[in-house]
Structures are given as C-alpha cells and as structure tokens.
Amino acid sequence: MTGPLTPMLTALLGRLPIGWLQLVHNKGRLAAALSGVAFANVLIFMQLGFLGALVESIRLPYTVLNGDVLISASDANTLFDGSPLPRNRLYQALGVEGVASATGFYYGRIDWKQPDGTIRIMDLFGIDPTSAPFSDPLLARQAESLMLPDTALMDSKTRNVPGDLFAGIEAGTPYRFETRGREITVTGTFEIGGGFSADGYLVVSDQTFLRLFPARLPGAPNYVLVRLAPGADPAAVLADLRAALPASDSAVWTLDEAAARDQRFQTTQKPVGIVFGFGVVIGVLVGVIIVYQVLSTDVADHIREYATFKAMGYPQRFFLGIVFEEAFILALFGFVPGVLVALGLYAAVAAGTGLPIFMPAGRPVLVFLGTLAMCALSGAIATRRLARANPAELF
Amino acid sequence: MGSDMASGSVAIAVRGLDHWFGTGEARKQVLFDIDLEIRHGELVVLMGASGSGKTTLLTLIGCLRRVEAGSVVLLGRELNGASEDDLVACRRDLGFIFQAHNLHESLTALQNVRMGLAVHGDRVAGDWREASRHVLGLVGLSERVDYLPGNLSGGQKQRVAVARALVGNPPVVLADEPTAALDRDSGLAVVEMLRRLGRERGTTTLMVTHDNRILDLADRIVRMEDGRIVEG
C-alpha cells in the first residue's frame, strides 16, 4: 500500500515513519497538499523565470558589443534612454592614454508596420560600420554591408514575426519596409531577441540613422564604445577617462558594470521588476499557508493519538519529529511535479513570447531549499497545536 | 526491573494526597487525604460512582497530572515536585489501558504495538517484531497483525491496545474500564492475563472498573466516594 518507501524511511529515521503513514492514510488530503505545494512552486518558478528573463533580456544587447568601456550620458539609466553625449566626448576619450579606439553609437526606437496593420516596436542602433563595433560573429561579419545607405540588419528573434520572413532574408532575398518616411532594405539577420518593452532589434549605419532621425545631431551619439590598447590597465584607463570627461554629462562604465547598473535599475526602479519580485513573495506566502493548513489539520486530527503517545512516555521532540517529517515529505513530493510543470511552462512561454526564459541549474536548488524552509516554517507554526494533546484527558 | 521489585515490596505508595480542579472561586477539591499502598504483583480494582475521584487518582499515579499536595511514590520515585522530564520518563515504566482503544488509525496492529516498545529506544528495538507478534498472540490476534485498526472489530482493537500496553513488560499497569469494549470471554481473558503477569513477573495492576464479572479476580478492591477512600 505504501510501497517500498516505508522500510526506507524507517531505516532513515530509525523509527516508524508515522508522519509518512499518516499522510498516505488520507490520500485525498495528501493529493490536495501536494498540489498546493506544487502550485506554490510553479508560481515561484514562473515569477523567478520572468525576473530572470527580464535580467537576461537586459544583458543580451551588451553582449554583442565589441568593447571594454561604455561611456553614457550621466542621465542614462538603461541602454535605451538618456540624452545624447556632447560632440567632444568621443575625441576626449580617444586622447586618454591606453584607449585604442572609440566609436559612437546612436539609439532610437522605430515602428515596423506589418502587412496586417499591426506594429512591431524595434530598438534601433546606429553604428559606424567601419569601426568593428560588434563582437557577435553574425553582426561583425555583416556590419560593413551597412555602408550602403538605407540598409539594415534585423533581429531574427523579433517577436510575432513569421519565421519564413527571416528565412527569405537569409536566403538572399532582401526585405523592404517603410518607416519614418524612408524605405529600409533589410539585407541580413542576427539574433538577440526582444525584451519586455520592444519586440526586437534593428541595426543601421550612423548615416542611415541620422536620415531616419533628422533632429539628431551628427557627432552626438548616445554612447561611446571604447576599446583598450593591448596591455593597458583597465582600472587605470577607467580612472583616467573619468577624470577626463565631465561627470555632469558623462558616465564611464565597464561593459559589465553598465549591464549590471541597467539590470539593477530595471529590477528595482521599474514596476516590471518589482511586480515579479512581489510575485515570488506571494508564491511563498501561498505555500506557507497551504502547508500550514495541511499540517495543523493533521495535528488536530491526530490529537488523541498524540495524547496517547504522550501518556506512553514519548517526549515532545518525538512529535516535532513527526510534524517535520511530514513537512519534509510535502516539500519533496510537491517540489518534483512543481519543477516539471514549471519546465513545461518555461518552454511554452519562451515559444510564445520569445523571452529568454529558461531554468538555470541553481534555480531548482534554490527553490527546493526555499520550499524546505517554507514547509519547516509552516511545520513550526503547526506544532503549537501539539500543546493541546493532554494525556490526562484520555481517561 | 530494580531489586526493590520483589513480590511483597511496595510498588505504589500514596500518602495524604489532596487534589483540586479549577482556580480561584471555581477551585474545588476532588481528592481528600488519600492513603493507598499497592505491593508488587497485586491486582487492585478501584471502584466508585462517577465523580468519586478514581480517574483523577489514576492520572496522578500515572504521571499525567502534577501532584500538588501530599505524596505519591511510584516505583521508588516521589512524584510531588518531579520535573516534566521526570514525569515523562516515569510514564515509560507504566502500561496504560484506556477505555477507548486510542489506536493510531494509520498504523497496523503490529506497528501500534511496536510503538509501545519503541518508546524505550534502541535498547529493545532489535527484537521488536518478535516481541510484538508474541504479545499480539497472547491476546488472540496472531492472524490480524498486519490489519489497520479500521479493519478490526471494536473488541479486537481493544485487545491490540492491551498488547501495546503490555509489550514493554511494564512493572505497573494502569487501566481505566479496560473491559468495557470487550465481550465477557475476552474481557475475562484480558484480566486473567494481567493476574498471571502479576504472579509470574510481579506486574502490578491498578484498574478502574464497574464490571462485576471481574471482581472475583482482583486481589483487593478499593472503594471511593466523594474523593475519599472508604474501603480498602
């Protein structure tokens, strides 16, 4: 009836696994309890998944850049906001010792109208095609082709676009569309994937960018990407750059720092990050409440048996052991279906939204430890009911 | 278990025991100046109308309530002033048989009996299966060892409870209406077994009962009325 687990648990605990036997005795309640724990786990996994996807989607555009240092406007919080830099900053940066090269790039956002009338929002970078601004192999290989006016490279992971469109471009058929009054010809693709605001990325030359955004001043890019000379000490160059550029309009970061600052800003200052963090808290609360309900009902249902065991001379720690044994079993057996359902949902969400949602190896470990702590906390609250087991009332 | 347990020496000695229930205005005395001595191996029946205090006396001797005034010496240990841990330890030398069987519904008959043994720790855990089967056999349940209580009759459940109380060879057995749920024959069989254990091992039994059928088997009958011992 209880399978091979009873002898296993008996050996493990050095006593009858009473908690386990109690749980399997009432199969309906056990099923409800395990679904509750699994549900809480799925909730937590999904929130962590979205939070992770947000963090990852912020990081991805930084990873395609070929550089060591990023100079941004001092008022920029992310890659996609902030004022243009004054024209001189690029040249001042080039004058710092240890800087091998520097190239500006522009950021803008455009609408890409689909045949069905809907719009895809594209984050647009304008780069100098001759300055080797990309480390990503696909982009690096195609960057120079952007010297042709009004050509673009497009993110093939852009959300809600028929896949055969990109297949056609990759096969050599350029795709044309109109935006901001100009016809753009897409001659190649790369892969980043949209985040939580825009649907995908588009890369053009700085000349094309300035034609799309005539109000923007040439020589005043949003960012300057700096590459260090071989053998230069990054810390020293960073300090010299900070000294050379006025902090009132410029901020100097390593690429990793810039990505981390961006992630920090979007997860703590923007509602989207806070919402997911809050969701994790709600998931934990749901789990604690469900497990507490199950354990305290179970204690209440067995109060006579526990009183009998007390009369027989079992000490308090024996009863705590039973409750924590149950808490551990609920945590373990609720976690397994929880993580499996979450994996399925991750795949579904990734396919449906193109968000970089996936299961890092550390997350199940973290969630399982959290589930254990959650169940132990519920168990600890539930054990307060044990005081009601009064053996003197058995007679 | 100790050398003081030779037949004839005192297993339970109660001296000047008073007890109250409630607090403040509602405080009511339920036991008055109880003196009672029970020797090893005796089977004593405690009788009295309901409310006469016999169950309270049983729970005080059974370390389930704290002794407030007077003295209860159980197997050589004074219970007045004993710590909670001491009381819990004392309970392990007792076998309780309750009016209700109080079996654990999720455990088989054998597992329920094992709980009576496991409380003594690893010292006796080794041969628990043999010991538990043996005592279930004594109460006539050899064929039912792997049954859950839900699949046993009321009388069978009560006999499992008796087996659970006796499996650890307790020097003292405290029983509250143990035969109420049993038919005449198995009721008599249980009491005869307790009597035999008294003769053979010096097991002391204090039993509350209204059951006239088993009075003949008692070594002594103690009667209580309104919180006082009136005979015995």
Q: What is the pLDDT of residue B5?
A: 45
> Where do the DSSP E strands lie in chain A?
69-73, 99-113, 119-127, 151-155, 175-179, 182-190, 200-205, 223-228, 250-254
Tell which wins on pLDDT, A298 or A4. A298
Q: Rounded to whole angstroms, how far apart are CA atoms A359 and A331?
A: 19
Strands of B28-39's sheet, edge to edge? B28-39, B10-21, B69-74, B77-78
Distance from CA of A3 to the nearest CA of B (A): 14
* 3-state secondary structure (DSSP) of residue B34: strand
Q: What SS3 string covers B148-179?
A: CHHHCCHHHHHHHHHHHHHCCCCCEEEEECCC
Which structure tokens are listed for A109? 């956002």
ipTM exceeds 0.95, yes or no: no
Q: Residue A201's pLDDT band (boundaries 50, 70, 90)?
A: very high
Burial class (CB in 10 A: 0-12, 13-18, 19+), B219: middle
Digit-coded pLDDT (tens) for A149-177:
999 999 999 988 888 899 999 998 999 99
Kindly report each contact of residues A269-275 with a partner whose C-beta sits within 8 Å and lies 24 or more positions away, as own/partner.
A269/A77, A272/A54, A272/A196, A273/A51, A273/A54
Which structure tokens are listed for B190? 């249980």
Assess contact for B111 and B150: CB atoms under 8 A: no
* 3-state secondary structure (DSSP) of residue A155: strand
Least Cα distance to A220 among A355, A383, A87, A356 occurs for A87
Model confidence at A14: pLDDT above 80: no
Domain ranges of chain A: 5-58+271-394, 84-248
Q: Tell me how far the alpha carbon of residue A339 is from its chain's centroid.
A: 17
Q: Rounded to whole angstroms, how far apart are CA atoms A44 and A372?
A: 14
Q: Do A395 and B107 touch (CB under 8 A)?
A: no
Interface test with B, best of A16, A18, A302 (most B CBs within 10 A): A16
Q: What is the largest CA-CA distance in chain A?
A: 96
Digit-coded pLDDT (tens) for A43-63:
999 999 998 998 999 999 999
> Tell me, what amino acid is at A382?
A
Q: What is the pLDDT of residue B1?
A: 42
Q: Do B96 and A392 touch (CB under 8 A)?
A: no
Q: Rounded to whole angstroms, how far apart are CA atoms A52 and A61?
A: 15
Q: What is the pLDDT of residue A1?
A: 47
Which of B64, B90, B106 is opposite residue A21, by nearest beta carbon? B106
Least Cα distance to A366 among A9, A55, A45 occurs for A45
Digit-coded pLDDT (tens) for A291-311:
888 888 888 888 889 999 999
Model confidence at A351: pLDDT above 80: yes
**B168 to B115, B127, B135: CA distances (angstroms):** 10, 11, 10
pTM more than 0.80: no
Assess contact for A155 and A192: CB atoms under 8 A: yes
Q: What is the pLDDT of residue B99?
A: 86
Q: What is the dihedral of CA A228, A233, A236, A240, to 10 degrees?
A: -20
Mark A190-227 as b/e (b = at least 16 C-beta within 10 Å): bbbbbbeebbbbbbbbbbbbbbbbeebeebbbbbbbbb
Assess contact for A124 and A204: CB atoms under 8 A: yes
Question: How open is the CA angle A98-A103-A106, to the nearest 5 degrees?
Answer: 145
Q: What domains are there in chain B, each with its CATH number? A: 3-231 (3.40.50.300)
Digit-coded pLDDT (tens) for A111-141:
999 888 899 999 999 999 999 999 999 999 9
Assess contact for A139 and A218: CB atoms under 8 A: no
Q: What is the pLDDT of residue B2?
A: 41
Q: Supply the Cα-derived Rg of chain B in whole angstroms.
A: 17
Which of A21, A313, A395 is opposite residue B92, by nearest beta carbon? A313
Q: Do A313 and B102 touch (CB under 8 A)?
A: no
Average pLDDT over residues A358-363: 92
Residue numbers of chain B with a pLDDT score lower than 50: 1-7
Residues in chain A within 8 Å Cβ distance of B107: 16, 18, 21
* 3-state secondary structure (DSSP) of residue A266: helix
- Whether the CB of A21 is below 8 Å from some CB of chain B: the reply is yes
* 3-state secondary structure (DSSP) of residue A361: coil
Average pLDDT over residues A343-351: 94
Digit-coded pLDDT (tens) for B151-179:
999 889 999 999 999 998 899 999 998 88
- Whether the CB of B151 is below 8 Å from some CB of chain A: the reply is no
Assess contact for B166 and B197: CB atoms under 8 A: yes
Digit-coded pLDDT (tens) for B31-42:
999 999 999 999
Question: How open is the CA angle A76-A80-A86, to the nearest 5 degrees?
Answer: 50
Q: Supply the Cα-derived Rg of chain A in whole angstroms.
A: 29
